[in-house]
Structure 1
Amino acid sequence: MSRKKVARHKAIIDELTINPSMRVSELAKTLQVTTETIRRDLEELAEQNLISRTYGGALLRQAAEPVLNERHKANLAERAAIAKKAAPMLKGAKVLMIGSGVTTVEVAKRIAYEMNNITVITHAFGVATVLSFNPTIKVIIAPGIYHGEEGATHGSQTCQFLSDYTADWAILGASSLAPTGPADALTDAADVYKQMIRQSANTMVVADHSKFDRLATARYARWNEIDHLVTDRQPSGPLKKVLTADKVNISEAAT
């Protein structure tokens, strides 16, 4: 494959990362090549399972999100480092809202170790369990429809319950960190995260580099709604550009 084609394929993926669905004519105009060239490129990228072809365009292929038990086995060192970096940033907080996910459970473990006399509101049973090791931490679990694979409650009852509280911080994980914003594979989880953001003075997203430039079903915020991103590697490309423009504080955890 020629260097020009490799560069063009990378440029197409970059464009679809920013705008998840684009038409052939839009890509041709952006990359300054013919529509015939773009169509050939899209067919080759589709054969590599990097994109999905749509009528007259393309859509960046979305990776499936493994269930919670499987995710617990991946990127262990990275998640532990993120948690170690994130917990001290919460110093002085009295009330936290914590979303579901494997990385947020790691952060909750560090909170249980490092913080005392706080209240944590969560919809995730894994978060509540690890916090129970510190008897000075008051844990409030939001009711709702239980999602067994995620170990968390979701739904309108969960969001309504959260609306009665305010917090110093919302601490949220993500299935993807795209230039368009952090997102989750579950739309119900994203609704809960949106509510947590509304109820909190500050919002922190905790996620490792494997989530960079992926797409997930439900975006729960734009980057200008997020105060801090704690991760294990500096983002690059379009994602870095958006984070800088929206003044998101990026904290890199050493692994």
Structure 2
Amino acid sequence: MKLTKAARHEEILAQITQQPSLRVADLAGRLRVSTETIRRDLDELTDQGLVNRTYGGAVPMRGAEPSVGERHGLFVAERERIARAASARIKPGALVMIGSGATTTHVARRIAVEHKGLTVVTHSFSVATVLSLNPTITVLMAPGNYLASEGATVGVHAARFLHDFSADLAILGASGLTSEGATDARLEPAAIFSVLASRAAETLVVADRSKFDKVFPARYASWRELGALVCDQTPEGPLAETLRRHGVEVTVA
């Protein structure tokens, strides 16, 4: 079956997060389209700031995040402190939505230890896996296209599933935090994060200091839409001023 342009773009972005470079001829064969079609796809993705075009192919965008598996080994102590602080905000019996990411997986692991009787809706396999250690927590997993670099489902099916819920709290990570809001390095997870934020009474961002003042292509929410931030260091400069202006509650773990 021939893929749509949107599906091709999604597949190209998924592959480029797992390989150091992609070549036009290889992509054309894999996706069963002409090399001219792939060149146009890569040109469009380059114009959107999602890949860097090279002679004969493309490489990941400069500054793109490593895969979620690689990120799990970074800022471990900081993320554990963030996880404890985030878990403390969850009320008994709550329905919680959790997005994919290394920090959110730390939070999910802490939730599994500290809480009982919650319902958690997620699109992240790592989040679902660590929560499964607690049999009193009900985990609902969103269907969709599997994005290997994030270990999560994305796409229209995931979004439709998540739209059916109204959560007490959404817990989301971010690739970058600026005065404009929370951003992600990848387009597809960002689209899911937007849905999660829109379906929760309160949205909590969990992020270590390395995310401050970093800009990535896909903004999933402005600070008007985000209620709280748990981090490991006090934000400064324009970011701090924006957080104060919008009344975002900041907890430094």
TM-score where L is the length of structure 2:
0.75
How much does 1:92 deviate?
Answer: 3.1
Partner of 1:206: 206
SS of match in other structure, 2:230:
strand
Q: Deviations over 1:47-103 (max 9, x none)?
A: xxxxxxxxxxxxxx9622111111111101100000011101112352000000000
Which stretches of structure 1, 4 residues or more, deviate above 4 A after TM superposition? none
Whole-Å Cα distance in 2 between the matches of residues 236 and 188 of structure 1? 29
Partner of 1:245: 245
Matches within 5 A, 1:15-34: none
Larger Rg: 1
Matches within 5 A, 1:45-64: 63-64=63-64
Whole-Å Cα distance in 1 between the matches of residues 62 and 88 of structure 2? 34
Whole-Å Cα distance in 1 between the matches of residues 153 and 131 of structure 2? 17
Q: Count residues with an aligned counterpart.
A: 193
SS of match in other structure, 2:79:
helix
Matches within 5 A, 1:92-131: 92-131=92-131
Whole-Å Cα distance in 1 between the matches of residues 164 and 177 of structure 2? 29
Matches within 5 A, 1:221-232: 221-232=221-232
Partner of 2:180: 180
Unaligned runs of 5+ in 1: 1-60
Whole-Å Cα distance in 2 between the matches of residues 85 and 160 of structure 1? 31
Partner of 1:146: 146
Partner of 2:9: none
Partner of 1:194: 194
Whole-Å Cα distance in 1 between the matches of residues 93 and 159 of structure 2? 22
Identity %, equivalent residues: 48
Partner of 2:24: none
Q: Deviations over 1:80-131 (max 9, x none)?
A: 0000111011123520000000000000011101110111000000000000
Equivalent pair of 2:92/2:116 in contact (CA under 8 Å): no
Counterpart residue type for residue 201 of structure 1: A
Whole-Å Cα distance in 2 between the matches of residues 195 and 77 of structure 1? 29
Whole-Å Cα distance in 1 between the matches of residues 81 and 93 of structure 2? 21
Whole-Å Cα distance in 1 between the matches of residues 90 and 208 of structure 2? 19
Whole-Å Cα distance in 1 between the matches of residues 93 and 243 of structure 2? 25
Partner of 2:30: none
Unaligned runs of 5+ in 2: 1-60
Whole-Å Cα distance in 2 between the matches of residues 64 and 94 of structure 1? 34
Equivalent pair of 1:63/1:214 in contact (CA under 8 Å): no
